[in-house]
């Protein structure tokens, strides 16, 4: 893997972890993607998070999780293994508050009926701890989530794209259903201020899910 910019060289442990991740992904996507594609997605996913000290210890794990999501999306776009379940993509600026709460509610209420992803136009360093606390009050744990960008294949694989405050930075592809949810940004707010944002998001998610199920 080439090293660019200010990124530190990979440690031996990180190299081992990425090799192990590549092996796992190769097994999961056997017959769909070759080794070169899997390694490229894994390494470009790694580069998305490299340089953020707050996640340094988890870089190979984050890279593997994000590469898996991107490869799943690409498989859908290319017509491999689409199981018919609708996919919703929630996008905001930092992928740290609104879109993460929406993802949590959607996964909680949809179960196995639909798929949801989230992303940001300028991903933050971590999920907003106040958003994590607000969701925990509802019994939904989003603490293990992480801010990540959107990529072309993820947007193209989505059936519905829900944007929240990212304006012109949000991607537009023809033929997709788009919804723009006007919501206050929880960044810098206390728990009392975030609760009504959280509850508004849940109402919107339930409405969207009801529409998808009827469709």
Which residue's entry shows tokens 């969207």? 208
For the chain, residues classed under CATH 3.40.50.2300 are: 84-215
> Of 38, 67, 92, 155, which one is the catalytic site residue?
92
CATH assignment, 10-82: 1.10.8.1060
Q: What is the pLDDT of residue 114?
A: 95
> Of 67, 162, 170, 205, which one is the catalytic site residue?
170
Q: pLDDT of 96-136, one tens digit each?
A: 999 999 999 999 999 999 999 999 989 998 999 999 999 99
For the chain, residues classed under CATH 1.10.8.1060 are: 10-82
Whether CATH 3.40.50.1980 fits 84-215: no
Q: How far apart are CA 203 and CA 90, in angstroms?
A: 15
Contacts of 29 (CB under 8 A, 6+ apart): 38, 71, 75
Q: Which residues of the chain have pLDDT under 70?
A: 1-7, 52-56, 81-82
Q: pLDDT of 51-67, one tens digit each?
A: 765 666 788 999 999 99
């Amino acid at each position: 893997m080439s090293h660019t910019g200010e990124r530190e060289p990979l440690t031996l442990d990180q190299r081992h972890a990425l090799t192990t991740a590549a092996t796992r992904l190769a097994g999961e996507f056997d017959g769909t993607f070759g080794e070169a594609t899997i390694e490229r997605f894994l390494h470009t996913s790694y580069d998305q998070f490299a340089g953020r000290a707050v996640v340094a210890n988890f870089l190979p794990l984050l890279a593997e999780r994000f590469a898996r999501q991107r490869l799943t999306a690409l498989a859908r776009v290319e017509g491999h293994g689409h199981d018919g379940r609708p996919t919703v993509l929630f996008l905001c600026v930092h992928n740290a508050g609104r879109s993460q709460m929406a993802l949590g509610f959607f996964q909680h209420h949809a179960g196995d009926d639909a798929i949801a992803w989230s992303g940001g136009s300028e991903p933050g360093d971590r999920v907003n701890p106040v958003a994590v606390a607000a969701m925990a009050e509802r019994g939904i744990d989003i603490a293990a989530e992480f801010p990540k960008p959107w990529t072309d294949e993820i947007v193209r694989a989505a059936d519905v794209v829900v944007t929240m405050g990212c304006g012109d930075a949000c991607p537009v592809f023809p033929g997709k259903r788009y919804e723009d949810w006007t919501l206050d940004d929880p960044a810098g707010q206390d728990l009392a201020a975030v609760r009504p944002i959280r509850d508004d998001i849940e109402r919107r998610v339930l409405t969207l899910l009801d529409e998808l199920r009827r469709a």
